[in-house]
Amino acid sequence: MNYQPFSRESITAIAKAIGDTQHGLTGSEIGNLLAELHLYDPGPITKRRRLDEAFSDWQKRNGTSDRVITFLARAMHLARYADNQELFEKRRSLLNPPLSIEGMRINENGKVARAKQAESLTEIQKLTNSVKAELKRRKTHEQVLIYCEEEVLRHGYFHAILEASKSVFDRLREATGADLDGAVLVDNALSVKSGVLAINSLATTTEQNEQTGLCHLVKSISGLYRNPVAHDPRLKRDVAEEELLEALTLISYVHRRLDDAHTRSA
């Protein structure tokens, strides 16, 4: 199948992505693939420029992007990543933004597939955000996503954790009708002795311990995520992607337990 040639700008961006200094193909991998596909190889220059010139030469001589697509499909073949899924996902996250402008993407099977064409920077973010995709894969609770989706799309992980943690305390206030905050709110809502809410019948020691555990967990979320993030300057708090996913998964778990909560009888 013949594909329309990519724009000059897209070719440069794709070459930059797959030739990324830290996460892209190695120089030997690039050389091997260029040789296998009979693509022009300009020789020992920077990886990005080498790929840019190779891809551009093919498109100029043949008027299609099909060999560029074949190169990407070979580069992203699942067999290359059998023992390194993290690298596969990282390369996908680098390639999909420029590919989305051409109406394509690298799917979860490593194939180059048709996709909705992005026509703005906002659409690129929505279509290619790997963190959002991972959160959906983990079936993150909808209350978490409602509170922090915008921050996740903008890769504002520092504030995404803050907004997600707020979702728990807002939910407790709504469920109890109490105008409280922090540990006082949590005790009012979930303490075994006098809490308004219960996540089980509280009839046995095990169930009471479970309720107490959730109570302590929600207080820990305040201590671990809400208070430090709210008070630390953003420039002094570098939040990695994995930390974000772990935090939102924990907060999502709390919401799932609250889904089962009922108001205790007086």
Domain ranges for the chain, please list them.
8-119, 137-263
Q: Give the pLDDT confidence score for residue 236 in this predicted structure.
A: 47
Beta-carbon contacts of residue 74 (< 8 Å; ≥ 6 apart): 33, 36, 37
* Residue pair 185/219 in contact by the 8 Å Cβ criterion: no
For the chain, the C-alpha Rg in angstroms (whole number) is 24
* Residue pair 143/119 in contact by the 8 Å Cβ criterion: no
> H or E stretch including 197?
strand 197-198
Q: Give the pLDDT confidence score for residue 68 in this predicted structure.
A: 95
Q: Give the pLDDT confidence score for residue 225 in this predicted structure.
A: 85
Read off the amino acid at residue 27: G
- DSSP secondary structure letter of residue 226: I
Q: pTM of this prediction?
A: 0.59
Low-confidence stretches of the chain (pLDDT beneath 50): 234-236
* Residue pair 95/132 in contact by the 8 Å Cβ criterion: no
* Residue pair 132/153 in contact by the 8 Å Cβ criterion: yes
